[in-house]
Amino acid sequence: MREYLLESPLTPEFLAFLAVFGTVREFPHLKRPFFSFEQEDFISIKGFTGDTTVEVRYRKEFADLTSDYFHLLLFYSREGEPGIRKMREIEESIREKMRMRMPR
């Protein structure tokens, strides 16, 4: 688990970008509106909407493959559709390494 202090809060656009790759859940009716993101085998993210701190967890078995994944998502989210395509390629490349590692 890592806690990141960001320069600015995660934006609704970034959460929409995340939703392409996994499940985003938003809870706007809580005292501090909360969101979470889950991409199976890759990462999960938790945070409060408008906050600059987020908690990111990696699946232990694949942490060496996915530890930069959050940074990649942040970077490519700025590029729109080309960023989605690039992240898809990265995702598939990591998944292939995961498959090779899984017991047969």
Partner 1 sequence: MAAGTVTSPLIYLNNAATTWPKPQEVLDEVARCLHTPFFEPGRSTTGTAVDYPAEAREALSVFFNAEKPDHFVFTQNATDSLNLLIHGFAKNQGAPFHAVTTELEHNSVLRPLHALEAQGALSLTTVPFRDSRVTLQGIREAIRPETRMVVMTHGSNVLGSLQHIRPIAEYCAANDIFLIVDGAQTAGQVPVNLSEIPAGAFVFTGHKALFGLPGIGCLYLQEPGAVAPTRQGGTGTDSRSLVHPQDMPVKFEAGTPNYPGIASLLAGIRYIERVGQDTILTKCRDLTGRFISGIDHPDIILYTPAPDLPVVSFNIRNLECDEAGYILAGAYNIITRTGLHCAPLVHDRIDGGKGCVRVSFSYLNTPEECHRAGEVVREVADGANR
Residues of this chain that bind partner 1 (CB under 8 A): 25, 27, 29-32, 34, 36, 46, 48, 50-52, 55
In the complex, the smallest distance separating the C-beta of residue 49 from partner 1, rounded to whole angstroms, is: 8
Q: Which is nearer to partner 1, 46 or 59 (CB)?
A: 46
In the complex, the smallest distance separating the C-beta of residue 13 from partner 1, rounded to whole angstroms, is: 19
In the complex, the smallest distance separating the C-beta of residue 25 from partner 1, rounded to whole angstroms, is: 8
- Cα Rg of the chain, angstroms: 14
Q: Which is nearer to partner 1, 82 or 103 (CB)?
A: 103
Q: Which is nearer to partner 1, 42 or 76 (CB)?
A: 42
Separation of alpha carbons 16 and 66, rounded Å? 20
SS (H, E, C) 9-77: CCCHHHHHHHCCCCEEEEECCCCCCEEEEEECCCEEEEEECCCCEEEEEECHHHHHHHCCHHHHHHHHH
